[in-house]
Amino acid sequence: MLISHRHRFIYTKTFKTAGTSVESYFEPLCMAPGEWLLSHERAQTVSEHGVIGFRGADQPADVQWWNHMPAALIRERAGDDVWRNYFKFCVVRNPFDRAISAFYFARAKGRLPASTDSDALQFEHWLAGGGLRLDREQYTLDGRFALDDVVRYEHLHADLARVCQRLGVAWQPERLPSFKAGIRPQGAAPLFTRRAEALVRQLCAFEIECFGYAATAELAA
């Protein structure tokens, strides 16, 4: 998560949406000019320029700001005036595509039990067992969408250009890093069984309706 006092914006970070890359791109606007260095991990940074939440493994217990903070907690700690008057945005992604990305990420990190099942059956079991982490808390308050805009993963560069224009800063696509790329296998077999598709549809009903995504896995195949 980010807060920029110089540019008056708040970025809430969602899961498996190129969130770290986008977070990194906007970090320089939350620090003193010339202070920023590219890093996958980031210590909590709080200054007159803004806030960058902690990002990395082994999060310290005393950290007050971290990357995937819920919107309600950001509002509480930033204050109502900042929350109300700053431009707030996040990145969203087709829930079916996000589920595939999250599954392969979990497998790459060794978070899936050993199995001789097909990828499709493992995916189905992973969904049924609560493997897909929802990120509704990052953009809702009291069950309602609470930000000012969303960047869609499906047309990331165009939407980031729009956000930069809104913030009055230049869009420099060459500066957008690519973290966590290459985990999803190229040419992977289709994952969605009928049950897996129904599970994502059920789990992500809010996102499908709120952001206007099709309630089918077809586009994520």
pLDDT per residue as tens digits for the range 148-205: 999 999 999 999 999 999 999 999 999 999 886 667 776 566 899 999 999 999 999 9
Domain ranges of the chain: 2-220
Write down the mean pLDDT value for the chain.
94
- Beta-bridge partners for 45: 52
pTM, full prediction = 0.94
Q: How far apart are CA 44 and CA 11, in angstroms?
A: 15
Backbone torsions φ then ψ of 150, nearest 5 degrees: -130, 145
pLDDT of residue 197: 96
> Which H or E element spans position 52?
strand 50-52
Encoded tokens for 107: 């497998």
Residue with the two structure tokens 């969203």: 92
Q: What pLDDT is stored for residue 113 in this prediction?
A: 87
Structure tokens at 10: 């708040």
Spatial contact of 23 and 34, defined as CB atoms under 8 Å apart: no
> What per-residue confidence (pLDDT) applies to 116?
87
CB contact at 8 A, 69 and 24: no
Question: In CATH, what class is 2-220?
Answer: alpha beta
Cβ-contact 102, 131 below 8 angstroms? yes
Side-chain half-sphere exposure of 200, counting CA atoms within 13 A: 29
Amino acid at 174: E
From CA 73, how far away is CA 44, in angstroms rounded? 16
Q: Strands 45-47, 140-141: parallel, antiparallel or unpaired by DSSP?
A: unpaired
- Mean pLDDT to the nearest integer, 105-134: 93
